[in-house]
Structure 1
């Protein structure tokens, strides 16, 4: 189509620039047309307090936002919100501060002939976007353009992006950065339960008498969840399975410092002990599961001696682990990135699920096989982004599903792809192979976060056209972009998020975005108009209108929330967990799945799934004798630090420079002193890091936080075969004093 601006389109552009990001929160009673591009005049807004969910991690805390003369001046945790009950972590307390950063992206930027990014108008940005990407598709085919999305924008924006790209722009391949954190749990649940369905509620932290945390340092990664553990009145046994003596492990009843990636073997060995001692719930197994007999026969090979040898744990530690599970009346199993980010993450997660099923620890208070999500809206991305599945957990390959979604959206089902997208790693490989020439990156930073960073940057540099849409103009990926689209952040737009426990919470607009930045929702609407498919999205007129469409997409599915009337109902309820089907919804503040023993497979039963454990993909060698572990550094850091580094308060709470944890014995052998600069290198790259000498890490292992820019120069690009999730947690490295 021609991209010459026409009056109708220009009118809409001006309208979007005027309205910016939609109406301010309804408590403030301000119409969207009452402000321009500058600061909201204080006289227009009364003093008020409103509440909304935090936009950082998947915990989904409720925050009170206090306004003085129309300006958001402070935050406090919401005392009666069922998630955090009046608690907040440092990131939540600083959520407003990072919005005022001088690094905000405030105007579209286009790389000029001399290679410099320079400001352009939104009209020029949109015309360039369309001309370049449509030109690539015309020359190389529809599949030559892809997108990479995020778990950090509202569900309605994710859905609009997924529908726009897949139905309107003819883009087949698009994935989200949730592939880096939650894909393993998604696949594990789908295969075992029949749907991506974390079964728990946060109340289970307080109801368990045995809490098993596997590869999960919730003290640091999810501190409010740890606070819920601390509220538990039952004096629970806390078992932490983790190679490092993490902050969570320091507070455990039993810490099992197993060899990296031997957790699958350990869990099979625990299953064998439980079976041999008849410490299983035969009635539950018979009524609600399939394939237990095959599982029983399979785990017989995991003798106590074998498990001790392969895990590095003592036989007494392993036996004690099994005994604590047996002694518990309400045992809950929790895992996060230490399991998910693995070359065998899916089967390891299912080994956890198997333990919950065989002991009947699911569906009751204080139980469950519970994956803890990473990003604020990773659950929304998993269900409604059109990446790993069709809207609402439907299947692109299922004709009935395509017809259902097409009917709800008022589109021809023939525009819906009949195949699933390539996964994130396959998209990156597609660029390398010359199959993908144009890429649109939304609210994520792959030049920092993707595994084997040096290769990733080289691959991104091969694109014909890279568009990056972000709220900050200084991310590593923005610096590589040909076109930068400035986006609004949390608190500058509205929508919903779905947290780890399936709770749908509300995000509100408290202020306009700076400069000419627009809500991602408005940017997607602009793209639709300039691309020539705007009519397809006429009923997608606002985030709340999209919410109503998604309700219908969810109807009749396990994630059905058709009983939720509107945003106001979510607000008044303090968030609502799915499922919440129309005419069958209850008013319970917290609800868990599978209380009736019914799962989502056709026969209503869960499946036992298992497979031979596989060795580390990169073992230590003479040249690279250490195993590198990565993970969350401090509670004040978040992912690539795009936001947290914008707060002076948060920066004071973590080391400015990368650091590497090393065991004292290894430090003595290498003459490395605390605080000394070291060089850590793998086959793929090297970095400088200050030595932190600590018994928290075992001899032969090192630990570097994932947040620092150079960390992923080292990591090894291997992936789980079922989830395609990267294995960030282990690779072979060397360490030496700098200059030696």
Structure 2
């Protein structure tokens, strides 16, 4: 018997309380154990919601045993101001699902999944991955993680995998969500720095939403827009008449992927007419080159690409550059999930910079983040950036992180990891032999998802660590590690406006499932690198390590003492550096660049641009429709692995896939509402019920992204700068199902 089970017993008992080693290590007993002593009976505690990156605070109402039995939105929290969307109201439901992973599962030689104890599961984990490393090297195993777990866990994973286990490649599903915004900000501002506060929704005169269905995807932020007393113009730029477009003052219904050309045409008009802010332009680099580039993007030159008239473009240009008006630009996945999303995001950044709409109330070029902790992932996952907002390629950064974490500097590689798509491509090619997936579901969510079945055949060992054993990814695994979910562990999220907030443990994980933090501690012990992580005793201890690493970086949070302080301040927006005695406490809601100093070496923002590229898969006679995808309802979330577990949420959206079709196309095809129709691309097909909707234009279709069949259709094309997939436009055909 290996030496490590006593270590496992000790660490597991720290999590579960006074349970016997047999109970913890064997799969047959599913006792919950006692509620930890720190959860003494109380009326309520607060916790940040675990769905989107809005970052709403919820009040969790506890029973006499300290277990959450109900919740309500927290009044007065500066994010949601006492509001919650349907997902937030039902956030406890997924914890009680019968599909929870409660015990490790290991696939035997016949292909059957068997219940095993933690000792056998982790011995198998370590021996299989060590064997692959010995045979094929440190690039033979990779991980894919999430924006759904606290940043303390994300950082532990990234540091464990790269510094402790000695592997190179790991990425987070932030790559599917926010990589475009990350890259755009880094290139333009010198750091991944969304500049805004949610208060800017309430202080703008003109709010421009590009590829953002705010009403559905971020309903609490739409409520912040509705609180605006300045009678703002709300402009939605989107090919589809979304719920947000229908509620706006103006809908710009441009052609799919015509956004970059339109944004350049707007800048052309503004520069041509002199409606610029010279003082703001002084704080930029590249204005002369940008002005020369814009000469080719007159309104007339882009009418075909955008589907808009010259008059419409000229009118919009005047609206977004009116002197004295506060203009804010906002975007989400309609821009990010694009083959040229970085340049589209930077085109909005350029517009904000040349008109002086940055660093002031009600302004900015503002990305709205998707997952609850995608901002935390961006700073702390140790994937594309060295943990703490540092750079793997900078020797001084490697030395600082090594000293701060107490690890040998030589364990920090200067080599970059492969990006998400490159990791999967390497697995397809047989170069990556082992894959560890944590709290995400790429077998459903990845673009052209049918390719993952073939990829699976090339993998020698696939580990999935998740709340549920029924996700598409877990069903494909060789080993399933049962993880605690939101509400069953402590930590911090960072929301879209850079606000750090705490989540609380108010339930015991079912069976012998453990928090991801505890699983990583056990793996460190099994692997033999636990000496590197002796200070990672619990999430708050890890928080303090990570906090101290941020010193001197734009995301400096060294002024935060601990979780209690975060709660007491109503969340804390970074930066929040340690203050000199007597220094005033920063305001609750703060924007960046009020001093017009950016994070580049020169202190100036960069105006970046390049010509629009052709759409990767244009329509033709064989595939004459353009498929658009996006959020379906405010009750659905991503692959529905959690929202699908709520009886209430399931009643609020269609259970099966449906496709929105323009009435003219429906008439031509001879289909009526609720008929079944086959949607086929060059990669796959699905059957969906017909929803006749004038909200899509003839020749265009819309499918909600949440159904597992949808990504069989989408096209494997990627932004060259961010490596983010292009989910939003591909060519399909329709056939009526007889």
Same fold (TM over 0.5): yes
Asked if structure 2 preserves the Cα contact closer than 8 Å seen for 1:633 and 1:706, the reply is yes
In the alignment, what sits opposite 2:170? 174
In the aligned structure 2, how far is the partner of 1:659 from the partner of 1:735? 13
Kindly indicate whether residue 107 of structure 2 is the aligned counterpart of residue 111 of structure 1: yes
CA 45–404 in structure 1, closer or farther in 2 if over 3 Å, else same: closer
Structure 1: distance between partners of 2:169 and 2:152: 20
Post-superposition offset of 1:693: 0.5
Is this contact kept in 2: 1:211–1:236, CA < 8 A?
A: yes
Report the counterpart of residue 623 of structure 2 in structure 1: 624
User: Quick one: structure 1 residues 44 and 468, their matched pair in 2 at CA, closer, same or farther if it must change by over 3 Å?
Assistant: closer
Contact 2:342 2:721 in 1 (8 A): yes
**Cα drift, residue 392 of structure 1:** 1.2
SS for the counterpart of 1:661 is strand
Q: Deviations over 1:139-184 (max 9, x none)?
A: 1111101000000000000000000001001110000001001000
Query: What secondary structure is seen at the aligned counterpart in 2 of 1:329?
Result: coil
Q: State the SS of the aligned residue for 1:509.
A: coil
Q: What displacement does 1:115 show?
A: 0.5
The answer to whether structure 1 residue 37 and structure 2 residue 70 are counterparts is no
Cα distance in 2 for residues equivalent to 1:36 and 1:670 = 57
What is the CA–CA distance in structure 1 between the aligned matches of 2:493 and 2:149, rounded to whole Å? Answer: 8
How far apart, CA to CA, are the structure 2 residues paired with 1:156 and 1:176?
Answer: 14
Q: What residue is the counterpart of 1:451 in the other structure?
A: 447
| Structure 1 residue 77, shift from structure 2 partner | 0.6
Q: Is the 8 A contact 2:16 2:34 kept in 1?
A: no
Aligned partners of 1:44, 1:616: CA distance in 2, in Å?
54
2:283 matches 1:284: no
Cα distance in 1 for residues equivalent to 2:263 and 2:332: 15
Aligned to 1:651: 650
Cα drift, residue 326 of structure 1: 2.0
Verify: 1:664 aligned to 2:663, yes or no.
yes
CA contact (8 A) 1:18 1:36 kept: no
Matches within 5 A, 1:273-352: 273-286=269-282, 288-327=283-322, 329-352=325-348
Matches within 5 A, 1:70-81: 70=65, 71-81=67-77
Rounded Cα–Cα distance in structure 2 between residues aligned with 1:421 and 1:665: 48
Question: Which residue of structure 2 aligns with residue 230 of structure 1?
Answer: 226
The 3 A distance-change label for structure 1 pair 534 and 442 is: same
Aligned to 1:597: 596
* 2:395 counterpart of 1:396: no
Tell me, yes or no, if the aligned pair for 2:188 and 2:607 is still in contact at 8 Å: yes
Distance 1:16 1:486 in 2: 17
Asked if residue 678 in structure 1 is aligned to residue 674 in structure 2, the reply is: no
Cα offset for 1:460?
Answer: 2.4
1:712 aligns to what?
711
TM-score relative to the length of structure 2? 0.96
3-state secondary structure, aligned to 1:477: helix
Q: Is the 8 A contact 1:20 1:513 kept in 2?
A: no
Secondary structure, in 3 states, of the residue corresponding to 1:699? coil
Relative to structure 1, the CA distance from residue 370 to residue 334 in structure 2 (aligned partners, 3 Å threshold; closer, same or farther) is same
Answer whether contact 1:38 1:514 (CA < 8 A) is retained.
no
In the TM superposition, residue 713 of structure 1 has moved relative to its aligned partner by: 0.3
Ranges in structure 2 where 5+ consecutive residues have no aligned partner: 20-29
What whole-Å deviation, never above 9, does each CA across 1:401-437 have from its counterpart, x for those lacking one?
A: 1000000011110001111100000000110111100
Whether contact under 8 Å (2:5, 2:119) holds in the other structure is no
Secondary structure of the 2:450 match is: helix
Residue 113 of structure 1: CA displacement?
A: 1.6
* Number of residue pairs the alignment of both structures matches: 723
Q: Which deviates more from structure 2 when the two are superposed, residues 594-603 or residues 67-76?
A: 67-76
Structure 1 Cα separation of the partners of residues 640 and 478 of structure 2? 23
For the residue of structure 2 that corresponds to 1:142, the secondary structure is coil
Aligned 1:38-437 pairs, distance under 5 A:
38=33, 40=35, 45-70=40-65, 71-286=67-282, 288-327=283-322, 329-437=325-433
Within 2, Cα distance between the matches of 1:679 and 1:664?
Answer: 17
Q: What are structure 1's unaligned runs of at least 5 residues?
A: 22-34
Alpha carbons of structure 1 residues 467 and 323: separation in structure 2 relative to 1, 3 Å: same
Query: How has the CA–CA distance of structure 1 residues 124 and 16 changed in structure 2, closer, same or farther, with 3 Å as cutoff?
Result: farther
Please point out which of 486, 490, 498 is paired with 2:486.
490
Any runs of at least 4 consecutive aligned residues in structure 1 with deviations exceeding 6 A, and if so which? Answer: 41-44
Q: In structure 1, how many angstroms separate the alpha carbons of the residues matched to 2:8 and 2:85?
A: 44
Q: Which residue does 2:511 correspond to in 1?
A: 515
Matches of 1:12 and 1:146, distance apart in 2:
29
Q: Distance in 1 between matches of 2:229 and 2:175?
A: 36
Given that 1:672 and 1:736 are in contact with CA atoms closer than 8 Å, whether structure 2 keeps it comes out as: no
Q: Which secondary structure does the structure 2 equivalent of 1:293 belong to?
A: helix
Q: C-alpha distance in 2, partners of 1:689/1:636?
A: 19
**Conserved 8 A contact 1:19-1:36:** no
The farther-off stretch of 688-697 and 62-71 is 62-71
Change (3 A) 1:235 1:37: same
Q: Equivalents in 1 of 2:271, 2:111: separation in Å?
A: 65
What is the alpha-carbon distance in structure 2 between the residues aligned to residue 178 and residue 63 of structure 1? 24
**What is the aligned counterpart of 1:473 among 463, 469, 487?**
469
Q: Is the 8 A contact 2:59 2:74 kept in 1?
A: yes
| Counterpart contact for 1:20–1:37, Cα < 8 Å | no
The match for 2:24 is: none
CA distance in 2, matches of 1:422, 1:16: 36
Structure 1 residues 280, 103: closer, same or farther in 2, change over 3 A? same
Name the residue aligned to 2:686: 687
Q: CA RMSD in A?
A: 1.6
Deviates further, 324-333 or 111-120? 324-333
CA distance 1:413–1:221, change in 2 (3 Å) = same
Q: What secondary structure does 1:370 align onto?
A: strand
Cα distance in 2 for residues equivalent to 1:242 and 1:166: 41
- How far is the alpha carbon of 1:316 from its aligned partner? 2.1
Q: What SS is found at the alignment partner of 1:326?
A: coil
Partner residue in 1 for 2:22: none
* Cα distance in 2 for residues equivalent to 1:518 and 1:141: 30
Q: Give the distance between the partners of 1:14 and 1:450, measured in 2 at CA.
A: 34
* Structure 2 counterpart of 1:9: 7
Q: Deviations over 1:102-129 (max 9, x none)?
A: 1110000000121011100000000000
Q: Distance in 1 between matches of 2:689 and 2:53?
A: 30
**Post-superposition offset of 1:37:** 2.7
Can you list the C-alpha shifts for 1:507-558, whole angstroms capped at 9, x where unaligned? 1111110000000000000000000001110011110011111111100000
**Alpha-carbon shift at residue 623 of structure 1 (Å):** 0.9
Partner SS, residue 557 of structure 1? coil
Q: Distance in 2 between matches of 1:720 and 1:20?
A: 52
